Amino acid sequence: MLLTILGSSSAANGYVLDNGREALALECGCPLHDLKRTLGFDLRRVCGVLLTHEHADHARHAAKYVQSALPLYASGGTFWYLPDEVRSSPFRHTVQYGETFKLGGFQVLPFDVRHDAAEPLGFLISHPEIGTLVFATDTRLLPYTFPGVRTWLIECNYDAALLDANARAGVISKAQRLRVISSHMSLDTCRETLEANDLTRTRRIILIHLSDRNSDAAAFRKTIARATGREVITADRGQTIEL
């Protein structure tokens, strides 16, 4: 199974899990063409698209996705804030956190997260080829622990010291600083979250949604690797990772 990073930033987010027979897309913040190109312009094997919340960097191209007959799965609160053509689409599927569903060989369990959106979700994804994967982006914290996780796809958005320094220097406003703190995961929180989980089966931790201004990818990798003893990758656009 390959994980392809279509985008992982405040500009656009999208990820694809693909084994050549079936594919699961995460988010629709990247143009549909990027997804098509990743899949060799064959969308028939896409069994679903999981959407965490309605913010543009994650949902900007949702209408194009459903217009291409891709089944889109999100919370009712998320769908409420999407365009009419998405809300009225026969390819819209509302999910509830805590209720498991299947998409091809993928089993998906949505869970609630802490973000400034209507009804944001994270997803616990299982497949015979990859075991269990946690997908948690755009959340101040994770209120749960997850047993037996092989791969973590987890937000590590900012370093508190860098954020504070940028606010003092006027690089970002005080309001921006407060929003980041209240709705995104810091390096320290990411580390503490991983340390709170049993990582016995964890092979790889992929840090996603790093801030352009308030993060240091190399330092983040070093900090999380030292804390967990696991391979740590920071997600970059166009990257392909074998799971």
Mean pLDDT of 110-128: 98
Q: Is the pTM of this model over 0.75?
A: yes
Backbone angles phi and psi of 54, in degrees to 5: -90, -5
Question: What mean pLDDT value characterizes the chain?
Answer: 97
Report the C-alpha gap between 6 and 209 in whole angstroms. Answer: 12
pLDDT category, 1, cuts 50, 70, 90?
Answer: very high
CA atoms within 13 A on the CB side of 168: 6
Which CATH number among 3.30.470.10, 3.20.20.70, 3.60.15.10, 3.40.50.10860 corresponds to the domain 2-242? 3.60.15.10
Q: How far are the Cα atoms of 12, 61, 118, 146 from residue 237, in angstroms, in the given order?
A: 9, 17, 27, 27
For the chain, the structural domain boundaries read: 2-242
Contact 201, 193 (CB under 8 A): no
